[in-house]
Chains A and B, each alone.
Chain A
Amino acid sequence: MAMILELALQGAQMLLVVAIAPLVLGVTRKVKARLLARIGPPVIQPYRDIWKLMHKEAVFAHNASWLYRGAPYCIFAVTWVAAALIPTYATGLLFSWSADLIAIVALLGTARFALALAGMDVGTAFGGLGASREMMIASLAEPAMLLIVFTVALVAGTTQLSAIASLFATGSQGLRVSLGLAVFALMFVGIAENARIPIDNPATHLELTMVHEAMVLEYSGRHLAMIEFAAALKLVLYFSLIACLFVPFGMAAGQKTAAALALGLAVWLAKIFALAALLPVGETSVAKMRVFRYPVFLGGAFAAGALAVFLLFVSRGY
């Protein structure tokens, strides 16, 4: 009986992230539009977009291969698995120990690998452009991500997300500059990975400014719906990660009573929507960077992560 309950909670988390992802995207777009003095689309527009795309015919090039047709399923499935394994409203769920922070980052790497290959499949210049830029951004963001993981693991003594969330929720680690630097670095890395301004413009139609859009240029119909959905899931994943690592208060831990779960759910939704509203504030205050300024941006994230690690060594007197 307890096993059924655990399974149900884990399954509910999986369904929750999928259900909420387009709404988060809609909120982000709405806030951005309002900041730009527009009215903007309704917040449920992404659901309608996905529904519309699913009912459109999928058009392929003559030389598109099985990889092109199968990649959207792979990308969506892998991103969903990664998003479902981050603690949302409760820690210590049934399969939370099967993937730690490093494994989740690597799962996102798998999705990116599939996407880049799909971009190169048809053999256009845009696909190659998007794929090569995406791999460069990934190679710049990975060292910064590792240093963030290192910082958090040094403070918490583990890389298991549930354990980190439980530990940080007790507030015993105190006020730490290193964690502040780590959250900055994670935000920069998140912006780079999710293809937001200043790294990439998710609403652009200019080829020279595309990274993510260039890779999916040839997709249409249900495949494009899956890829768009996967991008929204990735955004929710990063918000969830920031919430779990740096503001893990309010999660249901230990005994999972209905009240604790409801509280955990409400708190999580509040955190995600707060971050979703914060993102456009940052996006509208800077301009998109030139491609060869990305190393400066991500190098800043790397320096913040490295400083965080060094400060930890100094302060704890390891």
Chain B
Amino acid sequence: MHSLTFDVAHLLAGTMLVLSFLLLYQDRVTAVLNVFALQACTLALSVAWQSVAQNAPHLIVTAMVALAVKGFFIPAALHRIVRRLEIHREIEQVLGGGPTMLTGLGLVALSILLVQPVGEGAGIIVREDLAFALAIVLLGMLMMITRRNAVTQIVGFMSLENGLILAATGAKGMPLVVEFSVAFSILIAFIVFGVFVFRIRERFDTVDVSALDSFRGERTEHT
């Protein structure tokens, strides 16, 4: 029952849950992005382990996608955005730290309670993965609604998505997993672009790129 496969999968999924909690705990944007990158790397490791355990080589692609896109590219892009557009580094919270944490613990308990009767016949690994994944999804949603900062809302959405991918890869033989993960990553990229564009429009009152030239200061106008 406590084979190495089970233990390591349990360890990785548990680490993802702990990182979701840590995301709720941070109060600076750069820390949030770093913890998220760490969570994406853990997701990649978990998916890679599942591909080895389930003998499903196409999951390696998902792991690579997760690592590259969500572990590296998106956090780097968001770091640049935060620096360039001088987005508030401090995150304002709607609830205090204490109530948020207690709500998070309550959501974890709720996930465990919900999943218990579902997987009665399915075996312990599936039940546990579902409980963790549901908890990560709910914590991602909690993060989205209790933070007043656009970047943290994106990160919340992405961590929610991490939970979904964890659930999808945990269930053996789910079709189109790779396609789904790529599609979600593109979705995220468009959301990031959207926020980017919105902020530019807010800042400069236009999205016409040529108009940016007029703000360049030392360079002379040229046709």
Contacts and interface: CB of A to CB of B under 8 A. Distances in A.
A296 interface: yes
B108 A310 contact: yes
A300 interface: yes
Contacts of B108: 306-307, 310
B71 to A, nearest CB: 21
Given A307-B108, A314-B131, A315-B128, A177 B10 contact: yes
B18 A181 contact: yes
A174 B15 CA distance: 16
Interface in A284-318: 295-296, 299-300, 302-304, 306-307, 310-311, 313-315, 317
B20 to A, nearest CB: 10
* A181, A310, A314, most chain B CB atoms within 10 A: A314
A303 B7 contact: no
Contacts of A177: 10-11, 14-15, 18
B21 A315 contact: no
A175 interface: yes
A317 B2 CA distance: 12
Contact of A307 (B2, B18, B131): B18
B109 A310 contact: yes
Nearest to B131: A314
A271 B17 CA distance: 30
Interface stretch (B96-104, B175-183, B206-214): B96-104
A48 B98 CA distance: 44
Contacts of B131: 314
Contact of B105 (A295, A306, A315, A317): A306
Given A303-B105, A314-B132, A296 B97 contact: yes
Interface in B14-39: 14-15, 17-18, 21, 25
B23 to A, nearest CB: 12
Q: Number of contact residues on B: which range applies?
A: 20 to 34
Nearest to B129: A314
Contacts of A295: 97-98
B101 A314 contact: no
Interface of chain A: mostly helix, strand, loop or mixed? helix
* B14, B108, B112, most chain A CB atoms within 10 A: B14
Given A175-B7, A315-B10, A303 B124 contact: no
Contact of A303 (B14, B21, B112, B128): B21
A310 B98 contact: no
B125 to A, nearest CB: 10
B25 A313 contact: no
A317 B97 CA distance: 31
A307 B131 CA distance: 13
A41 B163 CA distance: 52
A7 to B, nearest CB: 40
A141 to B, nearest CB: 15
Contact of B101 (A174, A303, A310, A313): A303
A315 B6 CA distance: 10
A311 B7 contact: no
B127 A303 contact: no
A176 to B, nearest CB: 8
A175 B11 contact: yes
Contact of B7 (A174, A296, A306): A174
16 contacts: A174-B7, A175-B7, A177-B10, A295-B97, A296-B97, A296-B98, A303-B101, A303-B104, A304-B18, A307-B108, A310-B105, A310-B109, A313-B112, A314-B128, A315-B124, A315-B128
Given A177-B18, A303-B21, A307-B21, 5 more contacts: A177-B11, A296-B98, A299-B98, A300-B25, A307-B108
